[in-house]
Structures are given as C-alpha cells and as structure tokens.
Amino acid sequence: MPAAPSHPDHISAIREFNRFYTARLGLLRKRHLDGEFSLTEARTLYEIGAHPRITATELRQSLSLDRGYISRLLASLTRRKLIRQSASTIDAREKLLTLTTSGESAVAHLNQNSDRHISAILETLQPHLREDLIASLQRAYQILNNSQTGEVSIQRVNVPSPAALAILEEYYEAVHVIKRDKPGDLQALLSEPASAMWLAKLDEKVLGCVVLRNLPSIPNAAECKRLYVRPAARGRHVATLLLDALEEHARNLKLDWIYLDTYDDLKPAIALYEQRGYERCDRYNDNPQATLFMRKRL
C-alpha cells in the first residue's frame, strides 16, 4: 500500500520528542556515568551481549563506526578480558565475538547504572502515570519494530546450516540449558523420520526457531522443542508462525499429539500455548529443568 506523505507536524513532533527524550534520559552523555567505559564501549559490550557470536562487521553496521576503530576497540576489550574472539568455522576471515563472564558482569553493571537513573525518574511519577508512560513507550516500540520492511518467512531446515546452529546457540544461552546438543546431533535429528526444524527469517536475518522431535515413548505423538524468538523480534507473532508450521507438518504426518515441556516462569510462552489450545498434562519425560508439561490434540 502506498503510504500517504507524512504530515509535517508528525515529523516535527518526533524530532522534538527525540531532543527532549535524549536530554531527559541523558542518552548522549559521553562518559557513561561509569568511569570505566565510554559510551561507545558500553554500546559495543551491550551489542555483543545481545547478539552473541556477532562479527565485527555486523557490529560496525549497527553502531555505524569505522572498521579500523572497531578493530582497535575490540582488541582493547579483548585485552581487558571483557570479550572473547573465536574463529569462525564457516569463514576464516571473521571472528565471532562473545562476552566473557566478566564482560557479562560489566554489562550487568552498566545496566544497573542506567537503571538507577531511570528509576530516579520513574519515582517522581505517580503509579498510574508510570504505567501510562511504560505503555506509551511500549506501543511506540511495537509500532516501530513492526514497521521494519519485509515479511517474516518460515523455512524448513534440511541440513545443519550455520544459521540453524547459531540460533540454537543463542537459545541455549538464553535458557541456560546445561546439556546442549552437539552440532552432529542436529544432523542426526534432522534425519529422523518425524523430526524437523524451522527457522523464522526476515530477509536473511534469523528471528527464531522451533524443533519438532520424534517422541517414541508415546504413540502418534511428537514433541515441540527449542521454540525461541530473538528478543529484538518479539511482538511480531514469530512464535505463532513457527508453531503454525510445526503443527501443520505434524498433521501431515498423521500425528495425534504435540507435547512440550516448559517452566512456570515463562508466562508469555505459556499464555501463547494455552491460547493455541495446549493444555497441561502429566510429566512425560525426565527433563529435570522442566516444571510444566503441556499437550495439544491435533
């Protein structure tokens, strides 16, 4: 649909908001309140934390900085043992960046600082205004996040591609699982008859994944595993699209049940499952981390 030209009032309203907001929240302060890191260093650490296994080039694009400068910056952060640069098996030129433990605690510390500042502002607000403010910002977030061009597509994974391994890696980090699959396991899984994996993509960027796994202990059933949507892509119904693909596939296989396990804490995930017709059931496996079990009749 061809959008109508933006009304000038809209534009200046946003411009004014930007100026006001950055000033009020101190978003442009050079020395990031914390003596130890510059604003750019802090942003770099945060970006690596948010996107483990990011490459320097991707970082450069998202921070819009010079390659040379980034290179030195990363060298310095590595020297200070805040990040780790590991060789990529896919492309020997690039290095995959991850936070070290102390890098993670540095990010946590930076967040704390920024939180203190935000908290001081929120505390001057009456509770209902506070709710109102959060809701307004979240609405803005949602609208802008969804506005990114392109359609989310769901792709079946046939081979253990780097992209598939990378998103699984991210999933593991996000849920802190202890027992991780090895790359070879994915290959094995994909070749099992009733098992499969899907990726959600926007252009070429992977937004999330889900795995359907054979469940030999229960007749005519399979298990939904590794449902994960990257934080940056949430609110775009990516999980819904992934589950649609998974369930359709299961139906084609003439399965009767999808089982899954999860944790009581994951309220939004549980809400989604319930909304899709999953209902609580008894423990069906011995996953020690899981506290909640659900299933759906197809």
Partner DNA sequence: GATTTATAGTTGCTAAAAGCAACTAACCAC
Partner DNA sequence: GTGGTTAGTTGCTTTTAGCAACTATAAATC
Instruction: Using CB under 8 A, list all residues that contact its own copies.
Output: 1, 3-6, 8, 10-30, 39, 43, 46, 50, 62-65, 111, 114-115, 118-119, 121-127, 129-130, 132-134, 136-141, 143-149, 231-232
Q: What is the footprint of DNA within residues 74-103 (CB under 7 A)?
A: 74-75, 85, 91-95
Nearer to its own copies, 14 or 175 (CB): 14
Is 34 a binding residue for DNA by CB under 7 A? The answer is no
Q: Is 163 in the site for DNA (CB under 7 A)?
A: no
The rounded distance, in Å, linking the Cα atoms of 31 and 33 is 6
By the 10 Å C-beta count (0-12 exposed, 13-18 middle, 19+ buried), 172 is classed as middle
Q: Which one, 40 or 113, has the nearer CB to DNA?
A: 40
Rounded to a whole number of angstroms, the minimum distance from the CB of residue 132 to its own copies is: 6
- Sign of the torsion formed by the C-alpha atoms of 121, 125, 131 and 137: negative
Q: Take residue 254 and report the two structure tokens written for it.
A: 């003439």
> CA 42 to CA 110: how far, in whole Å?
7
Residue 27 near DNA by CB under 7 A? no
- Exactly one of 7, 10, 24, 30 binds DNA (CB under 7 A); that residue is 30
Compare residues 40 and 85 and give the one whose CB is closer to its own copies: 40
Residue 197 contacts residue 156 (beta carbons within 8 Å): yes
State the amino acid at position 294 in one-letter form: M
- The Cα-based distances of 30 to 53, 83, 102, 123, 129 in angstroms read 27, 22, 23, 25, 30
**Cα–Cα distance for residue pair 101/106, rounded to 1 Å:** 9
- Identify what 41 binds: DNA, its own copies, none; CB under 5 to 8 Å per kind: DNA
Q: Taking the complex as a whole, how short is the minimal distance between the CB of residue 52 and its own copies, in angstroms?
A: 16
Shortest distance in whole angstroms from residue 271 CB to DNA:
38
Residue 69 contact among its own copies, DNA, none, beta carbon within 5 to 8 Å by kind? DNA
